[in-house]
Amino acid sequence: MDLVLSNNAQFFYKEKFICERIINIQFVLILEFPLMTKIFHILIVEAQFYPDIANELLLGAKKQLSIPNVSYETISVPGVYEIPAALNFGIKSKQKKFNGFIALGCVIRGETDHYKYICQEAVRKMMDFSVGNSSAFGFGVLTVDNYDQAYKRADSSNTKNVGGKAAVSCLEMMKLRQYFNLPA
């Protein structure tokens, strides 16, 4: 049984039967978004502390953003700790307007507590940025124990590429902002 709630949303009704008796009813809201008809511009902030990892993450993101009506520009910062400030510069820019933001980078655990503080503060500030500005945001920052773990998640030739996943997240969040009629 399909019930249409509006032009952009549909309600689907599912039933499971055991011994001719309903034991579980699930209601699932599925949003169907209109095609993006205007040009959406995305800022990618890439931390270059591990340049080979950053480049792979960026390749993965670019692959996902190579679609009609989407443009992007990339800026580099020294490390993950600098990403939140760069995102903030981007959203406050009077010369450039961005509809979405993507953060790419990597933090690898070392012998000191430095890893913990960088991860904790940078991730917290990125979440604050996203929620505080109602921004469409894709999080593509790796926090790993070693280089091998980082490369497996950054390799642009496989489906685990976190940069590509962050780009898809950003696109989905841009569609959601559009659904709720929020200004960019």
HEC string of 43-112 equals EEEEECCCHHHHHHHHHHHHHHHCCCCEEEEEEEECCHHHHHHHHHHHHHCCCCCCCEEEEEEEEECCCC
Q: Please indicate, yes or no, whether residues 53 and 97 belong to a single structural domain of this protein.
A: yes
Q: Please tell me the predicted confidence (pLDDT) of residue 2.
A: 38
Claim to verify: residue 26 and residue 60 sit in the same structural domain: no
Q: What pTM value is reported for the model?
A: 0.80
Write the CATH number for 126: 3.40.50.960
Query: Among 114, 116, 124, 160, which one carries the catalytic annotation?
Result: 114
d(CA 109, CA 115): 5
Are the C-beta atoms of 97 and 183 separated by less than 8 Å? no
Looking at residue 78, what is its pLDDT? 98
* Domain assignment present for 12: yes
Domain that holds residue 15: 2-31
Higher pLDDT, 27 or 108: 108
Q: Which of 105, 23, 7 is nearest to 58 (CA)?
A: 105
41 in active site: no
pLDDT at 22 over 50: no
Q: What is the mean pLDDT of residues 120-142?
A: 96
Bigger pLDDT: 145 vs 16: 145
pLDDT at residue 35 tops 90: no
The number of domains in the chain is: 2
Same domain as 113, residue 89? yes
- Cα angle 23, 29, 35 (rounded to 5 degrees) comes to 150
Residue 19, domain member (yes or no): yes
Whether residue 140 sits in one domain with residue 52: yes
Pair 21, 50 in one domain: no
pLDDT (tens digit per residue) in 40-69: 999 999 999 999 999 999 999 999 999 999
